[in-house]
Structure 1
């Protein structure tokens, strides 16, 4: 009998994961034999996250010292939309512009709110006398804005780790994948994506606890940061459509109602304040063409290299939406036809990964989206590290490619188009590999490390009656 992860005994990662078990031999052996941690998982995980935060801050030191202008930010790997938008969207003079206009700010309402609050805080701290304080001065307001944004994101990162730890149930150490994630270390300071990722993790935790409305509320909150948390409703719907999960259609309706209610509460006031400003995110999503590092951008580069012009924005939108719809249909068939009910987070991972592969743009910080889903859906350290290695290869490749476009450096100081395309194909291939692993786990539940950790063998006196009773008790929870 395969039970819910939260029902099984706690699992030591150094005993369960092959890579960690091998590495633990250099540090006292697997936990429970010679190595016996004295601190709770939460304490250790928070400590690891603080270490990750410090490492992340160090990766941006060049830009903190020299500013975020010029091509050198790409060579240093510390480019940030946050600092760029502070000047480009005139947040220093109009901090509430992302919400009330009349300027342009192409983000959903909660991301706009975070950006506006931090801009107002920056203006307040520098409005006293304009003198330098703790390294900040009026002529370097963007530094203070980035520092405040990074500090807020660091707190959210700590919350994310705790939420993933709780959602992992008997496998709390899987949250270490999030705590020391190289993808988050390098990606958290680029944009505000960590906020949406944490909202989605909270929705997953609420679903695990059978708080259907609360899960929906957090989905609505997440969608007000970024679009992708909406895909969790699709994963829930697939499970509801199965007859062997113990979930009625009311579960989906409750989650949908919670998501709609929270989204309306957050978005209607923004519509009333300035519908034009509120709608800019949706207009950009429809009208934009091929963005960097998407398959459509690669198509465009190859076409231009052969003397063509590449696909039009309308063509890209049609292909992107059509292929994503086809991928979702495939995930639906997989979820319905699998012999054993998939775990919700496995389906969610597949949907989000498919979206990232087929979307019109793949910004470097998008790699943050999958980290908690990897920790919950496919917690294999070797695969997680290999995937992040390809993501960091792409991270540097796109910056070096952009440095060659905007700068006047010698060719040896940037990546040519061929290397950039290879890096993009590498990160796509690594994501497809992870998706294949999750599909195999769905088709063969015995290879799923989460289900395997929750396996409880039946005792010698257990007969058909007790087995049926156990199946009834766990039927509605084992797939979460």
Structure 2
């Protein structure tokens, strides 16, 4: 006896069965999914929902957490009577620290003379120094970040002249800046979801990170994360020139996107022994072919495009306003150990005077600068050695996370919002949700003792060691993530991303590339498996 369907079958019954299903294979997500009906069905058709696609769900999560982040800073843009019939920000009695709503954006509006309509890098002013002298100051941010502040100020001025609800100019300015940063983080989430491949839901941790609530509007770092994430996405889509352009723009906003070029070059070196034979390039056509078709050629295009883009953004400002352009580099050379740096932590607990001892304002801590640089270079050499000798080629985002983490851990400056740099890279490099949420929570909670330490013990704040103690916990958490990533690099069979014959979703030309014998390297730098075999890194489709 036959059976007749009650209605015509759906015209397309395809299912994206390869997509990762966290509600079925991740215990934390499975428990959370009970709020909306439980894990996805065993026989469900995946990827057939018309509206609530994964990306739209991720955007909804992102908007919610961005709104929470704005709310967390809203206490610092409250207005009050200044006693003369005008308005001023209500930062009385250390409100910015007690309410933990402090944002660099608000004081920088006046400190960088944006309230005067000044063009960054052209405008200079005189400030008193702690030793009783004076110094000439300029805009202290990299070019793209400085121009972003200038554009936001101009938009705020236009708003003030429109028949729209008004507020103090600094409040309007903050909201304009915040809107742009929201766009930057939405782009970061989008690019991360595309870089995640079949594990698209891993990007949810970027959207709902506690660090978004605490630090999204503390400074301007979402600009850099957007350029870094889209630069990696362009590389994943085998567009090295575009990748270089985006990473170069990111480097013009903050330094760290340029650091991502290092892992790209090292991995391309690992799989491009023939690419080193530059003597074989004996014509223009041969050079073009080498650039288009070899990994090392693609890496060369990316590096040249990145440096060229960075120079194209910086050179006009450097030529027109050289003193203003140098201010960022001058301040980073002369500033001492940041409160969040490991060097200040040691000073806090031991009373150590630092490598340079007591030096005056404006004097560069020469030894500290050298130690910080050498420590970072040593870490990079270790990462490069790991990348070349690992039994299987590491994934690009694994090395990117290790390089950026090494930069933060060894640098003399770790501003709290820098932790946002690590969020997309961590999600792509180590998609273990409980571990990542634990680290993000620890890192976000460092903000509490930081604010109460800045409040001062005389105002019922916290001693310095309460703050530096939590910094130690954060650093240990980041080191733990690095250790887990290194473990998975050395044991690629335990890498969640590489299950089901997946290689490197963000690798671009590196994805599914075989590990060669690398005869151009000394024996101790060759991959352990490649010493005896040049078999492909994964089973091809």
Q: CA deviation at 1:448?
A: 1.2
Q: CA deviation at 1:36?
A: 8.0
Q: CA deviation at 1:57?
A: 1.6
Q: Secondary structure at the match of 2:100?
A: coil
Q: 1:180-219 counterparts in 2 under 5 A?
A: 180-219=208-247
2:178 and 2:397 map into 1 onto residues whose CA distance is 28
Query: Given the alignment of the two structures, is residue 224 of structure 1 paired with residue 252 of structure 2, yes or no?
Result: yes
**Aligned pair in 2 of structure 1 residues 263, 68: CA closer, same or farther (>3 Å)?**
farther
State the Cα deviation string for residues 76-128 of structure 1 (Å, max 9, x = none).
111111111001122111342x2433351111110011011011222232256
State the Cα deviation string for residues 10-36 of structure 1 (Å, max 9, x = none).
212223334223433554332243988
Query: Given the alignment of the two structures, is residue 409 of structure 1 paired with residue 431 of structure 2, yes or no?
Result: no
2:381 and 2:18 map into 1 onto residues whose CA distance is 36
Matched residue, 2:77: 64
Higher relative contact order (CA 8 A, sep 6+): 1
**Aligned pair in 2 of structure 1 residues 323, 8: CA closer, same or farther (>3 Å)?**
farther
Q: 1:79-228 counterparts in 2 under 5 A?
A: 79-96=102-119, 98-103=120-125, 104-127=138-161, 133-136=164-167, 140-228=168-256
State the Cα deviation string for residues 376-410 of structure 1 (Å, max 9, x = none).
111111011100111122111211111116xx412
Q: Secondary structure at the match of 1:341?
A: coil
1:65 and 1:244 map into 2 onto residues whose CA distance is 58
Matched residue, 2:380: 328
Task: Give me the TM-score of the superposition, normalised by structure 1.
Answer: 0.87
1:214 and 1:477 map into 2 onto residues whose CA distance is 27
Larger radius of gyration: 2
The correspondence for 1:52, drawn from 39, 57, 65, is 65
1:453 and 1:227 map into 2 onto residues whose CA distance is 36
Q: CA deviation at 1:302?
A: 3.2
Structure 1 gap segments, 5+ residues each: 1-6, 457-469
2:538 and 2:104 map into 1 onto residues whose CA distance is 41
Please report the RMSD computed on the Cα atoms of aligned residues, expressed in angstroms.
Answer: 2.6
**Aligned pair in 2 of structure 1 residues 391, 429: CA closer, same or farther (>3 Å)?**
same
State the Cα deviation string for residues 239-266 of structure 1 (Å, max 9, x = none).
0221379953212211111102211221
**Aligned pair in 2 of structure 1 residues 44, 291: CA closer, same or farther (>3 Å)?**
same
Q: Which structure has more helix as a fraction of its residues?
A: 1
On the 8 A contact 2:58/2:207 being kept in 1, the answer is yes
The correspondence for 2:269, drawn from 231, 238, 241, is 241
* Aligned residues between the structures: 445
On the 8 A contact 2:232/2:243 being kept in 1, the answer is yes
Q: CA deviation at 1:334?
A: 0.6
On the 8 A contact 1:52/1:179 being kept in 2, the answer is yes
Q: Secondary structure at the match of 1:279?
A: helix
**Aligned pair in 2 of structure 1 residues 185, 471: CA closer, same or farther (>3 Å)?**
same
Structure 2 gap segments, 5+ residues each: 1-15, 80-88, 126-137, 274-292, 357-364, 504-511, 516-534
Query: Given the alignment of the two structures, is residue 295 of structure 1 paired with residue 339 of structure 2, yes or no?
Result: no
State the Cα deviation string for residues 424-453 of structure 1 (Å, max 9, x = none).
101001100111111111111121111125
1:74 and 1:36 map into 2 onto residues whose CA distance is 50
State the Cα deviation string for residues 214-254 of structure 1 (Å, max 9, x = none).
11111101100001111111101110221379953212211
Matched residue, 1:390: 442
